[in-house]
Amino acid sequence: IAGITQAPTSQILAAGRRMTLRCTQDMRHNAMYWYRQDLGLGLRLIHYSNTAGTTGKGEVPDGYSVSRANTDDFPLTLASAVPSQTSVYFCASSGGQGPDTQYFGPGTRLTVL
Amino acid sequence: RKEVEQDPGPFNVPEGATVAFNCTYSNSASQSFFWYRQDCRKEPKLLMSVYSSGNEDGRFTAQLNRASQYISLLIRDSKLSDSATYLCVVNRGNYQLIWGAGTKLIIKP
């Protein structure tokens, strides 16, 4: 592994289903982030974690949850998917305690029908 | 009004030309500023940080104007490979990076 990986690459999901997007980094970065990107809008922060064991809410946290059991992994869970959660999801990490340079994974394209 | 605003473009520019675009931000307490580049359907990648004194990296120059609350990006001698969407990013603190929607640049041969 080099950098950040995300899985799956893409997914089509029925509304109401539970889904976990996976994110793993091998850079030993303290901080990790989940964003969604929609056409015509900038990236919007869903949740973040500044270090293992802690998480915080971003701009658009409703309908999403995260956990940070260790430094490397930061999964994002949609408990009951809705069509408005159709988006491209990017995971990112940064090396300091704050959001300095962020490194992104390749993204997950999620479609909720 | 969005906290970070960019002209969506597209800017259609001939190869070799100079192109510049601005980004305005509304929160005067914003602490630091960045330009990221995003290729079609790919992840964003840091292009450069923007410092108060202005900074240059090869063909790219970034400027910050705190009084007028905007940052700018200038690309000289544009290359076909510069075609991308350029994202303006503002750090307002507390782990909150605010992203512009991006300016699309198309360099034509």
CA distance A20 to A8: 9
DSSP string, B11-41: EEEETT--EEEEEEE--TT--EEEEEEE-TT
Option in A41, A59, A99 nearest B91 (CB): A99
Provide the β-strand partners of residue A25.
Answer: A4
pLDDT above 60 (res A1): no
| pLDDT-derived band at A99, boundaries 50, 70, 90 | low
B95 with A40: Cβ contact below 8 A: no
Going residue by residue through chain B (109 aa), what tens digit of pLDDT does each one get? Answer: 789 999 999 999 999 999 999 999 998 888 889 999 999 989 999 999 998 888 999 999 999 999 999 999 999 999 999 999 999 999 887 777 899 999 999 999 9
C-beta atoms surrounding A32 within 10 Å: 28
End-to-end CA distance of chain A: 32
Neighbours of A75 (CB within 10 A): 17
Interface test with B, best of A32, A57, A104, A109 (most B CBs within 10 A): A104
Asked if residues B73 and B20 have their Cβ atoms less than 8 Å apart, the reply is yes
A32 - beta bridge partners?
Answer: A49, A93
